[in-house]
């Protein structure tokens, strides 16, 4: 089912890409846009995870460079019945995280240094369990391959504005070009949002089951949401098409890109997790040992 949703999503974005190409260059522009979109879809399937990680300056870590964090991810992956994903850290003060990869065998999870420094060990477990749930549900394929194509639609629309477009295909003239520049990226964003809300709720629930305590993820979501409004994420602001990948929208809201959130309201997600906590009662949680209320690595930082 997730592969079918991915196909529908890519078809919608490809059609939008072709429509913008038609407005810029007529039938020839539409054909070129189709060829480019097809090539991008193939490239995105195999390489979009690497592109996204590179966009956010993510560095791969292991048991030597970040033993406690990697060990936590390994234990959670075992509980989820998943292969061990590659683990990355982003040198970014905003607490946040995302997962990427075309399938569980080629998956990666990435967290910011801000996440490791500001959340407790239990809360980090909740966050990473959520990201592993995306991998288990094959959400990461949909989430990752749409990012470069949505970004390309925005760039193509701006290109059309710069070069004036094809007036024969655009009877509205300059007004039509302005509408294209505004509405094409907006439409791409709406297509990205098509399945994101149910996807996040499902990952919250499965993540809570993986770590055993919905409350850990609920408190983490509250802290991350609060911090995201105060601490800018420059890499995300420069690449807004990747915002839907993160557990909480990383955009500050200062750009138009943030007008439509790809995430459900945080308070609703927290309420659902709190209700789940009451339902689960004394479910066994991951044995994390003793953890404090702030970053679990103390003065050593997240590098072990």
Q: Which residues are catalytic?
A: 131
CB 104: neighbour CB atoms within 10 A?
Answer: 18
Strands 97-101 and 107-112, by their bridges, are antiparallel
What 3 state SS string does 19-55 have? HHHHHHHHHHHHHHHHHHHHHHHHHHHHHHHHHHHHH
Compute φ and ψ for 60, nearest 5 degrees.
-70, 140
Buried b / exposed e over 247-259, threshold 16 CB at 10 Å, is bbbbbbeeeebbe
- Cβ atoms of 302 and 113 closer than 8 Å: yes
**Could you tell me the maximum CA-CA distance found in the chain, to the nearest angstrom?**
69
The angle subtended at Cα 299 by Cα 295 and Cα 304, nearest 5°, is 80
Going by C-alpha positions, the residue among 50, 25, 49, 47 that lies closest to residue 35 is: 25
CB 93: neighbour CB atoms within 10 A?
Answer: 16
> What residues are paired with 59 via a beta bridge?
89
E-only strand ranges, 23-180: 58-61, 86-90, 97-101, 107-112
- DSSP assigned state of 258: G
In three-state secondary structure terms, 61 is strand
Q: How far is CA 69 from CA 17, 32, 133, 192, 286, in A?
A: 40, 46, 17, 31, 14
């Amino acid at each position: 089912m997730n592969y079918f949703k991915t196909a529908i999503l890519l078809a919608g974005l490809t059609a939008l890409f072709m429509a913008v190409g038609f407005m810029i260059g007529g039938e020839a522009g539409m054909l070129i846009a189709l060829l480019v979109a097809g090539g991008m879809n193939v490239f995105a399937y195999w390489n979009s995870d690497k592109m996204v990680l590179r966009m956010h300056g993510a560095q791969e870590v292991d048991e030597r460079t970040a033993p406690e964090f990697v060990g936590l991810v390994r234990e959670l992956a075992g509980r989820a019945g998943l292969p061990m994903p590659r683990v990355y850290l982003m040198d970014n003060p905003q607490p946040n995280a995302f997962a990427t990869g075309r399938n569980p065998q080629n998956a990666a999870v990435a967290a910011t240094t801000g996440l490791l420094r500001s959340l407790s060990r239990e809360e980090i477990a909740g966050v990473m369990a959520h990201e592993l749930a995306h991998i288990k549900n094959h959400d990461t394929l949909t989430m990752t391959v749409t990012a470069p194509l949505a970004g390309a639609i925005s760039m193509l629309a701006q290109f059309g504005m710069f070069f004036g477009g094809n007036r024969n295909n655009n009877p509205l003239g300059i007004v039509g070009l302005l509408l294209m520049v505004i509405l094409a990226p907006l439409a791409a964003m709406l297509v990205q949002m098509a399945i994101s809300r149910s996807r996040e709720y499902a990952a919250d629930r499965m993540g809570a089951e993986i770590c055993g305590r919905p409350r850990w993820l609920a408190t983490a979501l509250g802290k991350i949401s609060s911090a995201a409004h105060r601490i800018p994420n420059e890499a995300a602001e420069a690449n807004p098409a990747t915002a839907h990948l993160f557990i909480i929208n990383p955009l500050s809201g200062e750009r138009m890109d943030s007008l439509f959130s790809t995430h459900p309201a945080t308070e609703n997600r927290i309420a659902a997790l709190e209700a789940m906590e009451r339902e689960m009662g004394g479910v066994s949680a991951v044995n994390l040992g003793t953890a404090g209320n702030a970053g679990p690595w103390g003065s050593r930082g997240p590098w072990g």
